[in-house]
Structure 1
Amino acid sequence: MEPVNAAIIYYSATGTVHALAQAVAEGAEKAGAHVRLRKVAETAPPEAIGAKPAWAQHLQDTADVAEAALDDLEWADAVLFGTPTRFGNPTSQLRAFIETTGGLWYQGKLAGKVYSAFTASNTAHGGQESTLLALGNTFYHWGGVIVPPGYTDPVQFRSGNPYGTSHVAGDGPPNDVSLEAARHQARRVVETAAALKAGRAA
């Protein structure tokens, strides 16, 4: 049986979601998946980026991370999307990428894959759950199999979000609990995708 192909596709302005995405990639790899870690293109104007030094610095620090392409979605058996929350929704940068997927969707090439999502917000009640649920609306349209972490590991009782890994960026960089929650979510997604792949091959 071939290993699961897992794509981690994310947007991060100042590095919080990038750190979560790296932990997701670690969890997926440890679960035996082939992993592609991909950032979506930055669409914000240079003057907005330049006005926030941490934003400009993160762009520079992640210049070597490949940008997401439609091929990454077609290749994947499982996709985990990461985004900061913007007024309770995914960022426009991630949405811009998602809105290029119409051709794959029309051909049925996004159906039957496993999908999951993770996020961060500046405050504890800054729209984390609504952001994850909003991404779920896209997964429904694609005919995806949505796999949340639920409360399937003790770390979830500490991280407090069964919808998907989330972190309060206002408290600082992702801590050990958030990073372990991200790894667990990835393992659960890969294990589910592997079971589906094996069942379809049988």
Structure 2
Amino acid sequence: MSSAGDRVRRRTVRAGGLEVPILEAGSGPLVLCLHGFPDHAASWAGLLDRLAQDGYWAVAPAQRGYWPGGAAPDGSYRASATGQDVLALIEALGRERADLVGHDLGARAAYAAANLDPARVRRLVGMSVPYGPGLRTAWLADGDQQRRSWYMFFFQTALANRPSSSTTSPSSTGCGENGHPATNCRMRSVPRSRKLSAGRES
């Protein structure tokens, strides 16, 4: 019996001035699965296969800046730019509309695409990042959210720009080849010392 990774195809699509590596499975209505940070398109391999089995054409693109040669041509990583990437990909794939599933910064890109051109988005699922000003408010006023988002603040410091001997990328670990995300990449598990209960740590 073949695994989900065996049924997921990979190729490159030109969209919005970028050569975008994508993973895809199935055929039918288009569903774009948009990864966040520090994930990659291969994080969706299992879901792509499941969506394909349910009659969808499931596509997971690499987001701008997440693959060698994938730097933003205009230098922008703003929500509006990533939202425009989503709309350009829908068009490049020959479809008028798509369902969007976004996690983390992928949710931000999905929200932006829906705001830029609501007619192009059939349905939208946002995970981990809420729509609207709620997250910004929590960052400013909620100590619990600030602790959960520590890494975002860390990445704004000079310390985050220092090279580390333990830093690896998908291409340096053999997860991708020729700039394509691979279906056999796995993120390292981080042990959790606390149990999750109803979306909150206990």
The two structures share one fold, judged by TM-score above 0.5: no
Higher helix share: 1
TM-score, reference length from structure 2 = 0.35
**Structure ID, larger Rg:** 2
RCO higher in structure (CA 8 A, sep ≥6): 1
